Chain A
Amino acid sequence: MKVKIAMVLRYVILILGGIIMLMPFLWMLSTSLKTQPETVKIPPIWIPKQLQFSNYIDAFKAAPFAQYFLNSVFVTTVTTVGQLFTSILAAFAFSRLNFYGKNIIFVIFLGTMMVPVEMLIIPNFVTLSKLHLVNTYAALIVPWLASFFTVFTLRQNFQSVPDQLYYAAKIDGASDWHYLWHVLVPISKSTITAVTVLQVIGSWNSFMWPLIVTNSENLRTLPVGLQAFTGDAGTNYAQLMAASTFVILPMVILYLFLQKYIIAGISKTGLKG
């Protein structure tokens, strides 16, 4: 009996948590199908009288979303691939190679994880403007080509690989480079998938940085593009939510397909996403 109550309680808490998590998404979906007056109605309504699918069409017409979409895909892809490449190399160095000052450098890098991203905005902006890179694709990409979070996660994973596998590869005639790409990376697939997905989501959703560092319309990414619905005369919530739904859809699909890897990869290293 006691066990049963505990079980019920556990499910109730989990379901409540689930509902709270889903609430913003449901609200977004609901709002995207409302008329403009319905969006600001008090008390709020969950199900519109008539579903306004036309909001989606109008939202598309409001700004060059095809361009924004391509920008987002491009920036996200290059950032993620570049960051993975640098992080894999760095993680290998920290986990396997011996070099002077390795532990000190590692600790310093670890310390940077405690610096909030917002604090880096100004120094990064100043650096980029001195390099005359503001308002270019490079500005959107270069600062994110290295991530110590990714390095750290991968290093933890690489360190769990038995030494004997490395020795075996050496005996088999593999150089460090071959060992890394032919053995270590393939067997660390789940962790690499996890950090990739986290990076893709982070990069795709990134708002503050692209907003600050670009001002041409042809460099805008999707999250920045959503501003199109906020004008001097107020915000068109229905269209904003319709466009938002479109923006997050690829990430939701990605997450649903890869959640097994994300959870496995992250729980293995004992890190929070």
Chain B
Amino acid sequence: MEVTFKDVSLSYDGSREILHHLNFTIPEGTLVSILGPSGCGKSTTLMMISGLLAPTSGKIFFGDKDVTKQDALARKVGMVFQNYALYPHLTVLENIMFPLKMAKVKKPERKKRALELAKLVHVEDQINKKPGALSGGQQQRVAIARALAKEPSLLLLDEPLSNLDARLRIEMREEIRRIQQETGVTTIFVTHDQDEALHISDHIMVLNNGDMQQFSSAETLYDNPSNLFVAKFIGEPVINTLEISDFQGELDQHVPADILKNAVSVGIRPEALQDHDSGSDTIATIETTVKEFEKYGREKNAQLDFHGKKLLTTEIENNLEKDQKLTLYLQKSGFYLFDQDGKRIFGGDQDAK
């Protein structure tokens, strides 16, 4: 099911807005992540899609149908909660059967469907246990099976992996991807973990302070961040950010003057600072001093001093000494300028959204 938000805003108390004028369309059959820091409104957005929360203004469409006024009961979505919210007094099978029972499906039929779902999520050997006797990963699987039981048009996942340990998290995110592809259900996944979002989703929506920052593929987010927030939020290690005033003429020959005049912040990805000239992609050179050099495994990281500001690079070929002078070649891909509102005005592909 395609989900469309048209100018949706929400405020709990009428004065302070939690979400501001959201406009987006989630295409049918895709897996979309809503990504953002804590308190940015991503779970709230999910609650509005589910119908547990009604928007203060704006309209929500499922396909062509306006569902703004419908509650959770009527919207028929499946949802997995952060703490799974399984019914503790029911067995695994009864948990999966519960939505079917509420939909008044006949008992033999609902048992059959529940068993199929238990197989799909690989908990068929646990069906007679109570949720309390299951591990976190198994509870997660049961919660997904329950959410899928009534063949929902949408599957919503609210930070489903945050209560799992690191290894299980990676396993489960692949499971979610597999289940989504097997069932073809449009899936919306809320997370604060960029790694999770980048690995699992077709598209990522970045939210901050109740505003949509960017909604695009993982690759576009990284290569063409639409603003400073997205540039800083996506990428590990974090992008180097400097003020335009930290540069002393190094950019003058290389960036058009009318753009440079509006630029306020500079973002440089750590891999865009190279210690050798790559040729065509190099747009400028800067003189730095080595502050720290670390080498572990295949990785070489250097902390550099540039006019009193710190820079990090991961693209060092030769070992370095502390306090050594170093010329760095700034690569065009991975170099961005932002104006006073944080909007990207240089670097990347200007046409990309």
Contacts and interface: CB of A to CB of B under 8 A. Distances in A.
Interface string B63-95: 000000001110011110111011111000000
A187 B85 contact: no
Contacts, number: 58
Contacts of B88: 187
Contacts of A170: 52, 71-73
A162 B131 CA distance: 15
A232 interface: no
A168 B79 contact: yes
A186 B81 contact: no
Given A168-B79, A170-B52, A175 B73 contact: yes
Contacts of A187: 87-89
Contacts of B147: 171
A182 B50 CA distance: 22
Contacts of B50: 167, 171
Contacts of A171: 50, 52, 72, 77-79, 99, 147
A42 to B, nearest CB: 58
B283 to A, nearest CB: 50
Given A162-B83, A162-B85, A172-B146, A167 B52 contact: yes
Chain B: number of interface residues, binned into ranges: 20 to 34
Interface string A175-189: 100100011001101
From DSSP, what is the main secondary structure of chain A's interface residues? helix
A164 interface: yes
A173 interface: yes
B188 to A, nearest CB: 13
Contacts of B166: none
A167 B81 contact: yes
B102 A178 contact: yes
B98 interface: yes
A174 interface: yes
Q: Pick the 8 closest A-B CB pairs, nearest first.
A: A173-B102, A168-B85, A172-B99, A164-B85, A186-B89, A164-B81, A171-B79, A170-B72
Interface of A: 162, 164-165, 167-175, 178, 182-183, 186-187, 189
